[in-house]
Structure 1
Amino acid sequence: MGGRRESEQVAAYSFRLYVTGRTPRSHAAESNLRRLCHTLTDGDCEVEVIDTVEYPERAAGDHIMATPTVIRLAPSPQLRVIGDLSDLGRAAAYLGFPDSPPLPER
């Protein structure tokens, strides 16, 4: 039987972060995403980091055209943000974190 056991908890937020190598920009993106998760969800968050150099097939499967790219997998809908997330307020709003400031209308 597959699936999760009842005792396993599923994080409220799930992200996949695509990076290219261990560059300063890649490190900044991961650090900023983990900071947002810790601060805004009390740690109820999963982050999977995928290096496109090591796993190009994963990047191709998710149609990654630039790095760093964050994909919010849960909750739905799926969202994508490209960049190192250095503007934490804007990144939080684009990724749909709770209590993030609303984005201005375009």
Structure 2
Amino acid sequence: MLSLKLYVTGLTPSSQQLIQQLRTLLTHYYADDYTLAVLDIFEHPQEAYDDVIYATPTLVKILPLPVTQIIGNLSDRERVLAGLQIKHLQPIHFS
């Protein structure tokens, strides 16, 4: 099970587009075997502080260990896969 947190600054149209892109990418590799918690830093400042979030957007991989962060532009698919250390996975093909 892959567990992620995405920190954003407000649920703006660009944040919503990013969330959809990430869900599409994750579903492509994990089907429904992942969780993605979306946290607005204005609504969850303590959690952002605890996770040492300095900029948004920031994607935090909680599980599997090690915990990793990808900060900034998350539109580059290869960068996201490499940052999450899941680049070796094969896409899931739905029939």
Q: TM-score, normalised by structure 1?
A: 0.75
Percent identity between matched residues is 38
Could you tell me which of 33, 50, 62 is aligned with 1:61?
Answer: 50
- Change in CA separation of 1:73 and 1:97 when aligned onto 2, cut-off 3 Å: same
| Structure 2 runs not aligned, ≥5 long | 90-95
Spell out structure 1 runs of 4+ moving beyond 3 A: none
Deviation at 1:98, TM superposition (A): 4.8
Checking the alignment, whether the CA contact within 8 Å between 2:78 and 2:87 is kept in structure 1 is no
Provide the residue aligned with 2:92 in structure 1. Answer: none
Between structure 1 and structure 2, the one with the greater Rg is: 1
Checking the alignment, whether the CA contact within 8 Å between 1:25 and 1:68 is kept in structure 2 is no
Q: Does 1:71 align with 2:60?
A: yes
Alignment of 1:27-42 (within 5 A): 27-42=16-31
| Structure 1 runs not aligned, ≥5 long | 1-11, 101-106
Provide the residue aligned with 2:37 in structure 1. Answer: 48
RMSD: 1.5
The one of the two structures with greater contact order (alpha-carbon pairs below 8 A, sep at least 6) is 2
Query: How many residues end up aligned between the 2 structures?
Result: 89
Whole-Å separation in 1 of the counterparts to 2:14 and 2:78: 18
SS across alignment from 2:4: strand
